[in-house]
Amino acid sequence: MSVEDINPNGPKHVAIIMDGNGRWATQRNRPRLFGHQAGAKRVRQAVETCPQLGVKYLTMFAFSTENWKRTQSEVSGLMALFRRYIQREANYLHRLGTRVRFIGDREKLDKKLQALMDYLEKLTENNDVTHLTIALNYGARDEVTRATQRLAVEIAEKRLRPDQVNSEVLASFLDTYVLPDPDLVIRTSGEARISNFLLWQSAYAEYEFIDTHWPDFTPEVFTSVVARYGNRDRRFGAVKA
């Protein structure tokens, strides 16, 4: 059975802003990192659920360029959690047939974490069941800025003419150049904003802002959100006859 047979009208690329870990923990009188640890477990479930829903690409917002403003203890705890996650989940993701990519400015991350990211990308580079992209030290404005800088170098070195630059050319310099644009963007925890996430790529995405905190984002919740997407009329600016 093909992906199209499973969910012919469903999204093929889902992007998720995983929000609410800290609030979920606070409601339970636990430290914020407890919530982040609980949220990490939901990532595995989301990846496992994708093939059942016909979702080929899953992009998850793990740490933004703005998250460095959090307390040093929380940032350090998150970086340690990312390292442990890769070490613990690498082989399992590989067995699932998941290809893992990271987007964002990884040069600002510590060297051990960078090495683990490189390792996981290399380990899974030939997998094709689900394409998991993790946005780590990512911000859309930062991404477009870095892409524009690379584009400027190409023009300055005369490998590209200014008149050749169009939306497709610019998109080829983005971190997501190998990925299709997201069809559906989900934000958990009741916030109705996009927080500098995939601004260029989500120009025609459908959005779902749900009250569920990320640690409570079960496969059943994922399934219900994807099901609602199938009922939407996507015209991409056109008018149907």
Q: Which two tokens stand for residue 123?
A: 């380990």
Tell me the DSSP string of 156-174: HTTSS-GGG--HHHHHTTS
Annotated binding site for Mg(2+): 19, 206
Q: Cα separation of 150 and 174, whole Å?
A: 9
Which residues are part of a known binding site for substrate? 20-24, 32, 36, 64-66, 68, 70, 187, 193-195
The C-alpha atoms of residue 44 and residue 85 are separated, in whole angstroms, by 10
Burial pattern 173-190, b for ≥16 Cβ within 10 A else e, equals: bbbbeebebbbbbbbbbe
Integer Cα distance of 30 and 218 in angstroms: 21
Q: Residues marked as binding?
A: 19-24, 32, 36, 64-66, 68, 70, 187, 193-195, 206
Task: Show the DSSP H helices in the chain as ranges.
Answer: 3-6, 21-27, 32-53, 72-95, 111-123, 140-156, 167-171, 219-229
Contacts of 87 (CB under 8 A, 6+ apart): 116
**Which amino acids are annotated catalytic?**
19, 67
Question: What Cα–Cα distance (Å) separates residue 34 from each residue in 21, 73, 92, 206, 230?
Answer: 8, 13, 23, 31, 35
